[in-house]
Structure 1
Amino acid sequence: MLVRDIMSSPALTVTADTHIPEVARLLRAHQISGMPVLDANGALLGIVTDHDLILRNAPVREPRYFAILSGYIPLNLEEHRHYKEQLRHTMAVTAGDMTEPDVPVVAPDTPLEHAMELMLDPSVTMLPVLEGDAVIGVVTRTDLVRLIEKLEGALDPEAAAESAEEEPVLAGMLEVILYVQNMGAMVAFYRDKLGLEIEGPADLDDYSGESWVLFDAGATKLALHSGGQGRTGEDTPMIVFAVADVAASRAVLVERGVEFGEPFEAAPGITVAHGKDAEGNPIALEARSL
């Protein structure tokens, strides 16, 4: 799974000259913990967070010093660093004055595992997503928790059942078994055109047949099976892939030769595009902005 699969896009941003009361209002109004800060040309300067606002308004504590000759040396370098940082925030007037520079960033195609590793650092609460020099989204801890909640729910049959009742249109399944007639063509389709990774032969002893191939599609596990008594054509379950932007993902896949209809709004906040794989089985792209 890639960063583009879970990022929040478009990102809410502010410019360096945005005044701090407006920064606070935006954070509260949108219930977010931080935002990227851009310069006049739209390039990323850093981020501003709720921690910056709290630091700006917290009591200032002077570090301890000891006198030496005609000067002073801090007893604790960390206290001294924190004091200087707090003074910078206290005197700040705009977002640019208290922006945290040199923040880690990711690209849309960055593996999600790498983003998680970066956010193991307690100081990293947000990762701006850059495409070239443009900020096209952000990954936050909330995005990761939402993904974990979905995965945990998929592994829990009771939670999955409750989720199915609440959300009739699911964004994916833990495992989809697809019976195919031409294994070579179907493997090439899902590997080369949809970009899924082959995880290995599926260890499914409950099913008889000639061969199995299991693909890793993030929260979705797709098993292709040739042989045996299976369902094909219209009786095959539709495989739904969750994407950040249906139109953008559809454009890439259509360019690769995948057949897709025009995107449409299936329900408020849910955009869908229907397509077909190499054997005419139904597939779909779905994006949610709920």
Structure 2
Amino acid sequence: MLVRDIMTSPAITVRAGAKIPEVARLLRAHQISGMPVLDDDGALLGIVTDHDLILRNAPVREPRYFAILSGYIPLSLEEHRHYKEQLRHTMAVTAGDMTEPGVPTVTPETPLEQAMELMLDPKVTMLPVLDNNEVVGVVTRTDLVRLIEKLEGAVDPEATAQEVASEPVLSGLCEVILYVQEMSVMVHFYRDQLGLRVEEPADVADLSGESWVVFETGATKLALHSGGQQRPGESAPMLVFAVADLAAARTLLVERGVTLEEPFEAAPGVLVCHGRDPEGNPLALEQR
């Protein structure tokens, strides 16, 4: 999935020279919490948010200083930074005066997983979407919450594996695995994509120094490797499921349209079974 699939477009924007009352009016009229700020040529300068407006009108708190000789040293650098930021906002007359440069941006073709990782930073509440340096949309936390609502509602949490067996989710998950490096991102944004219950992030194991996410249905659990391995002669990485019961896992995945070969002993005490999902992507089951 790409940014263009969920972004809000066209974006509500404001010129850098817009006065503060105009900024407040636009935010209220469109019921948004922020918007990109553009220069006279339409180039992105940054964003302005409702937080900026509140900070501009809040009482200014002077930081505490330690007097030494004829100088003053702030006791807290963070407190001093906040004071300087608030002074700048208090003296602001236009949207451009409040704009912080260097805001993260994405393009319509940016993988959604990358945008999600950027927005894990609590300071990043909006991502302007640029196409040839032109603002064509924005991705907000509301857009992501809307997506999560759709994903969470796509599969009945009480549904059995057989009831969702016909859904073409394995190949979609494969694409997610290839893009996502942080397992926590996949757990939070892609749970239930196999139609299986996903254990809480605290239960995600780190097996042999590698990250795994654990799916379960009934008594069967499958630990899915985040990166995959390369099978000789294959151009695409495999999805590797670590399982405690190879026979039960085989039954579960065959019900979902997965084609599996006969298992073999890859090493003493290690059973491996190769196969392909309904889209032809390679996968493997591994029992130790």
TM-score (ref. length: structure 1): 0.57
Amino acid in structure 2 at the alignment position of 1:115: A
Q: Which moved more, 1:67-76 or 1:123-132?
A: 67-76
Structure 2: runs of 5 or more not aligned = 160-165, 170-235, 240-251, 261-275, 282-288
Partner of 2:197: none
In structure 2, what is the Cα distance between the partners aligned to 1:206 and 1:104?
40
Inter-partner Cα distance in structure 1 for 2:168 and 2:259: 16
Cα offsets for 1:2-24 (capped at 9, x unmatched):
11100001111001001111111
The Cα shift of 1:207 comes to 6.2
Moved segments of 4+, more than 3 Å: 197-200, 206-212
- 1:148 Cα deviation from its structure 2 partner: 0.2
Note the C-alpha offset of 1:198: 11
Task: State whether residues 35 and 48 of structure 2, in contact with CA within 8 Å, keep that contact through their aligned partners in structure 1.
Answer: yes
Change in Cα spacing, 1:68 to 1:18, as seen in structure 2 (3 Å) is same
Aligned residues: 183
Which residue is 1:213 aligned to?
Answer: 278
CA contact 2:168–2:278 (8 Å) conserved in 1: no
> Judging changes above 3 Å, is the alpha-carbon distance between structure 1 residues 30 and 158 closer, same or farther for their aligned structure 2 residues?
farther
Match of residue 74 from structure 1: 74
State the 1:72 CA deviation: 1.1
Match of residue 57 from structure 2: 57
> Which residues of 2 match residues 225-240 of structure 1 at below 5 A?
none
Contact (CA 8 Å) 1:35, 1:47: kept in 2 or not? Answer: yes
Structure 2 distance, partners of 1:54, 1:208, is 55
User: What are the Cα deviations for residues 136-191 of structure 1, in whole angstroms up to 9, with x where unaligned?
Assistant: 100000000000000000022799xxxxxxxxxxxxxx9369xxxxxxxxxxxxxx
**Quick one: structure 1 residues 198 and 204, their matched pair in 2 at CA, closer, same or farther if it must change by over 3 Å?**
farther
Structure scoring higher RCO (CA < 8 A, sep ≥ 6) equals: 1
**Structure 2 Cα separation of the partners of residues 58 and 120 of structure 1:** 27
User: Offset at 1:213?
Assistant: 2.5
Say if 1:198 and 1:213, in contact at 8 Å, map to a contact too.
no
When the two chains are superposed, the root-mean-square deviation of aligned CA atoms in Å is 2.9
Q: Secondary structure of the equivalent of 1:175?
A: coil
Deviations 1:248-272, CA, capped at 9 Å, x for gaps: xxxxxxxxxxxxxxxxxxxxxxxxx
Which whole-Å CA distance do the structure 2 matches of 1:145 and 1:215 have between them?
A: 32
Q: Report the CA distance shift for 1:46/1:204 in structure 2 as closer, same or farther (over 3 A).
A: same
User: Aligned residue for 1:34?
Assistant: 34
Partner residue of 1:124?
124
What is the identity, as a one-letter code, of the residue corresponding to 1:175?
A: E
The letter for the 1-side match of 2:98 is: M
Q: Structure 2: how far apart are the matches of 1:207 and 1:59?
A: 63
SS at match of 2:56: helix
Residue matched to 1:168: none
AA matched with 2:278: V
| 1:175 alignment counterpart | 167
Distance 2:31 2:167 in 1: 34
Q: Deviations over 1:232-289 (max 9, x none)?
A: xxxxxxxxxxxxxxxxxxxxxxxxxxxxxxxxxxxxxxxxxxxxxxxxxxxxxxxxxx
Give the Cα–Cα distance (whole angstroms) in 2 for the partners of residues 209 and 70 of structure 1. Answer: 79
Q: Counterparts of 2:280 and 2:37 in 1: how far apart (Å)?
A: 39
Q: 1:203 pairs with 249, 253, 260, which one?
A: 253
Distance 1:32 1:138 in 2: 11
**Equivalent position SS for 1:7:** coil
- 2:95 counterpart letter in structure 1: A
TM-score by structure 2 length?
A: 0.58
| Percent of pairs with identical residues | 76
Which residue of structure 2 lines up, in the alignment, with residue 97 of structure 1?
97
Gap regions ≥5 residues in structure 1 = 160-173, 178-196, 217-290
In structure 2, the CA distance between the partners of 1:208 and 1:62, relative to structure 1 (3 Å rule), is closer
